[in-house]
Amino acid sequence: MLNYKTVESGVLPCEIDISSSKDGVYIRRNIKKIETESETGVLTKYQYEEAFVSHSEYETVSKDLLVKQIFSEDNTPEFDEYKKKLDTPVLYKNGKTYKPKWADLYNKKLNEIIPVMNAYGQLGGDISKFKNLKVNIYDVEATSENAEMMSVLDIIELWFFLLTKQEEYFNEYKQSLKN
């Protein structure tokens, strides 16, 4: 993870600066233009967060930044906080904790199970058998003691709970960008 510090400049900085230093690369984010009135007129300065990495470190960092761009991920502290929240366990009604980012995993599993159930029913099978089918779902502790036997309906409820948390955190993230 990059170590950013807040700095100011009278010149609009570029986000990636490979030419200012022979020792490395400046990576900047969250650039804000600040204008203030003075006796001589309007003064403009820029405030931003800046990290410095060696050229060899930049090779790795630049790949990470490119991947973030491909997946529409911001290089902002607000986005970092959002991603952190998605990876922070939340308490579910069963007393166990799960990470909101796991909603995607459960959605994938449900998208595998439900078509099979539907095909089974279309072929004349009794899909009510799936109501009683239960599988072990592990919480963040990932121990057998904390595994919870869940039906398809239980998994759907857990998925919806985690998806709702994802949306809550995404809305907080978007709101923080407006502030």
Rounded Cα distance, 76 and 74, in Å: 5
Cβ neighbours around 107 below 10 Å, total:
16
Query: In sequence order, what E strands does 39-168 have?
Result: 41-54, 90-91, 97-98, 134-137, 148-151
Q: Tell me, yes or no, whether 78 lies in a domain.
A: no
Domain containing 59 equals 5-72
Kindly report, residue by residue over 65-88, the tens digit of the pLDDT. Answer: 776 665 566 777 888 889 899 999
**Are 100 and 158 within one domain?**
yes
Name the pTM for this structure. 0.59
Kindly report, residue by residue over 9-35, the tens digit of the pLDDT. Answer: 999 998 889 888 999 999 998 899 999
Q: Tell me, yes or no, whether 131 lies in a domain.
A: yes
Q: Tell me, yes or no, whether 82 lies in a domain.
A: no
Number of domain units in the chain: 2
**Are 51 and 131 within one domain?**
no
